[in-house]
Amino acid sequence: TTSTSIKTEAENWKSMSGVQTENTSDAGGGKDVGWIDNGDWMDYSISAPSAGTYTVNCRIASIYSTSQFQVKNSAGTVLATVNVPSTGGYQVWKTVSATINLPAGAQTLRIQSSSSQGFNFNWFELISASAGLTMIQGSTSVTDTSATALDVSPNPTTDKFVLQVNNTLAGNVTVQVINAAGALQKQFSFSKTAGSTQFYISIGDLPAATFTIKVSMTGWTDSTQIIKQ
């Protein structure tokens, strides 16, 4: 069998509680998730092609030697408890691993802090020795999120922000701003050239909250989060 791995950025959650994003100095740049306190969590949607055992690799940084988090399913069952070692700083990154059993099909994985000692979280990777995993965002499959396809800055913002779309496609772009309940708040349409392109977006009239920014082009979609203050 061929080992297949799929990586997703930590900020590409479908929902979360208590965390924020920041710029990361880890390889590849982009954002990491910080301000993770005891009980804080992030939910991610995945689709496992077959039932079986998977390795989950998590990219973390911490100044504490007793940080810990749990990987849970949608029923709240703990699939794995992962101890986070001291890496020497909140931007000094190491990869920790655990083994989890997953049923086949679409499901939600929760990463939840289970200690009072905080840590930063940059990405996680699921590895199967059989068929490949597909990370699901919205209703569209994203088969590889190892490269940061979207970047928003500043984050948090009080009004305007720059959305950078990093792909090789050219054509019409639809940008949707979606609240935590899944309701569309604003929608924008742009024309994009091939390569990395920046768009300027205003959400100053929206309430303070965390919003999902969903970006769609023909045959491609991705999403990220922004915090409106």
Q: Give the domain extent around 215.
A: 150-228
90, 117, 142: which is the final residue of a domain?
A: 142
At 43 the pLDDT is 95
81 and 155 in a single domain? The answer is no
22 and 121 in a single domain? The answer is yes
At 46 the pLDDT is 83
39 and 104 in a single domain? The answer is yes
111 and 223 in a single domain? The answer is no
161 and 215 in a single domain? The answer is yes
- What is the mean predicted confidence (pLDDT) over 62-87? 94
> pLDDT tens-digit profile of 117-173?
999 999 998 877 554 444 433 322 233 333 457 888 888 898 888 888 888 888 888
135 and 157 in a single domain? The answer is no
Average pLDDT, the chain: 84
CA distances from 56 to 7, 31, 84, 102, 126 (A): 10, 20, 14, 11, 5
221 and 155 in a single domain? The answer is yes
At 142 the pLDDT is 32
142, 163, 185: which is the final residue of a domain?
A: 142
At 36 the pLDDT is 96
Please choose, from the candidates 118, 153, 168, the residue with its C-alpha nearest in 3D space to the C-alpha of residue 18.
118
At 159 the pLDDT is 87
Total structural domains within the chain: 2
30 and 88 in a single domain? The answer is yes
124 and 157 in a single domain? The answer is no
- What is the mean predicted confidence (pLDDT) over 211-229? 89
For the domain that residue 154 is a member of, what is the CATH number?
A: 2.60.40.1930
Q: Report pTM.
A: 0.59
- DSSP H or E stretch at residue 62: none
